[in-house]
Structure 1
């Protein structure tokens, strides 16, 4: 049976209000003897304050929603990068005294319903396409703060946090170019004229322009960001790109799949083809060969996103611009000068 305030009050011979005051640190008018007795009984009975009761009293749920795309009714579209972000968001919320509610959304129209039905104090959007976010602020009404991570869409919801995707891809391509590669494949999901992948493509292109070259001879492989798709590309590499000596994949999980597929096909990495990823997931340092990649500040991205959202939840002002976090090149064993063969 759950121990209640009334149970503690009866055992201590005091009023429920007195017990409540002791629990909430408002014991200035309560004798030290009574405070000690109440606390001892609380410990003995194993009393735990009701989170729902506290939320009701404070007119806050202490719940923050993390809304992610749901590919179907029974699956969530969560990449390894986003899984890492989710873990850090939960950690930061817990430190700030909030709880995380993970909710899959198959249609952005459901977001408003999720905010209302769960009485969320705020919500973070993660993994949605920019075209989905662009008009979302017109449908999400009410006072519940909402903030998007990794978004380039225009609108107040997107003044969140993102990495410097342009610079990251520029660093990746510049690294390959400095090694002597010229025919480099750009591999990633389809993209429009706004968004993370678009920014990475622009950065990739800029690295060539920086040294007076064109990307005209650099093929673009359009494929969803999964390990399986990377393996499939790696297996058919020689047939699809016999003259390419390097590939920049827009995500580590895709790059890791490409390496696996190439090795299965007898293609040496980096002896025959160099591979660069983007994210610096932990697994990047564990595979063979270890993956050269662009490191994002995943901890910082999650921390700043939570702090920005809770500033709004607690009555602060919305930032006028998104926070852009620095990235860096991490050179490992999957890149080398092109083979003379």
Structure 2
């Protein structure tokens, strides 16, 4: 039940009726094709009981609604979208959730962040999702650039109030991974990932990784950072092949993404090292691929589906109410132990 004195929202009605926010939106806006008569009656009854009053601005927006949501992602020029396995899974879940609510997804690659404003103004969008951009770029979005389009960023730590979205608990995830390796006796642990600044997903994972060492009073050698050009299997493979040359003392690696970790494992094996007997490897994401490789990959599981569903619901809430989300939502993570980690042997 809503707090006394607070305006009743579609989410309040949806929670009370046991249906989705999109279903409630369809009922109150007379889009009945996807809703059964019984559900229509129940939603209307609960809306009346809760005292729901649609805002005039929301009614106006609904009347002009295009049912279109834009998904904007970085593109590397003519090489196509920068979309790895993690983002593929996110996009898949976003499309499913929007389709269930009667919305359509438009995908657009962005080669220069200034194109975001053009994309928002060129399409008749109800809302837009940003996926894969640097927080420094998200910070640049202004109210003038966004206009009337509601915008949400996934996996962002930007403080921009226009873009609050959904992300995983990156700090805790990396902390769990490093603590797992520390508990196995590893001390010379390489942190492998793309270059990062003082904000963002990789920065959070780096800070969580270091915190695990501080937790147990072990000093970590900050020279054990291995930077790659991109989060890809090819970059991981190259890193794995040079790892024991660049860092011969290494007994374990934490990679900031599964696809990178899988490449590291392959590179180590290619050059004669044994995983996990010589080097243990931990990833982050818990993609299906972790079960298909040999050895099966120990990793940090993030709730990719839950994160995407949360993002869509937050965005559609904002579209319906005309109000911005007040804060980002962080989804939980957990460590999944498999075959790529073992007690230190040297």
Which aligned pairs between 1:224-235 and structure 2 lie closer than 5 A?
224-235=230-241
The aligned residue for residue 211 of structure 2 is 206
The aligned residue for residue 298 of structure 1 is 304
Deviation at 1:238, TM superposition (A): 2.1
Unaligned runs of 5+ in 1: 1-20, 26-55
Structure 2 counterpart SS, 1:278: strand
User: What CA distance in whole angstroms lies between the structure 1 residues aligned with 2:118 and 2:168?
Assistant: 29
The aligned residue for residue 73 of structure 2 is 68
The aligned residue for residue 108 of structure 1 is 113
Which aligned pairs between 1:66-145 and structure 2 lie closer than 5 A?
66-138=71-143, 140-145=145-150
Structure 2 counterpart of 1:259, from 238, 257, 265: 265
The TM-score with structure 2 as length reference comes to 0.80
Deviation at 1:74, TM superposition (A): 4.5
Deviation at 1:162, TM superposition (A): 0.4
Unaligned runs of 5+ in 2: 1-29, 35-60
Which aligned pairs between 1:154-303 and structure 2 lie closer than 5 A?
154-216=159-221, 219-223=224-228, 224-303=230-309
> Is the alpha carbon distance of 1:24 and 1:259 closer, same or farther for their aligned partners in structure 2, counting shifts above 3 Å?
closer
User: What CA distance in whole angstroms lies between the structure 1 residues aligned with 2:144 and 2:279?
Assistant: 47
Structure 1 counterpart SS, 2:342: coil
Deviation at 1:164, TM superposition (A): 0.4
User: What CA distance in whole angstroms lies between the structure 1 residues aligned with 2:329 and 2:184?
Assistant: 32
User: What CA distance in whole angstroms lies between the structure 2 residues aligned with 1:150 and 1:231?
Assistant: 25
Deviation at 1:316, TM superposition (A): 4.7
Structure 1 counterpart SS, 2:157: coil
The TM-score with structure 1 as length reference comes to 0.82
Deviation at 1:218, TM superposition (A): 5.4
Deviation at 1:146, TM superposition (A): 0.4
Counterpart check, 1:313 vs 2:319: yes
Deviation at 1:234, TM superposition (A): 1.0
The count of corresponding residues between Structure 1 and Structure 2 is: 289
Q: CA RMSD in A?
A: 1.9
User: What CA distance in whole angstroms lies between the structure 1 residues aligned with 2:62 and 2:315?
Assistant: 22
Farther off after superposition, 126-135 or 139-148: 139-148
Q: Is the 8 A contact 1:108 1:136 kept in 2?
A: no
Counterpart check, 1:336 vs 2:342: yes
Structure 2 counterpart SS, 1:156: coil
Deviations 1:162-201 (A, max 9, x none): 0000000000000000000000000001111100000000
Deviation at 1:318, TM superposition (A): 2.1
Structure 1 counterpart SS, 2:172: helix
Q: Is the 8 A contact 1:68 1:104 kept in 2?
A: yes
User: What CA distance in whole angstroms lies between the structure 1 residues aligned with 2:322 and 2:64?
Assistant: 17
Structure 1 counterpart SS, 2:145: coil
Where do 4+ consecutive residues of structure 1 move more than 6 Å? Answer: none
Farther off after superposition, 93-102 or 73-82: 73-82
The aligned residue for residue 46 of structure 1 is none
Q: Is the 8 A contact 1:294 1:328 kept in 2?
A: yes
Larger radius of gyration: 1
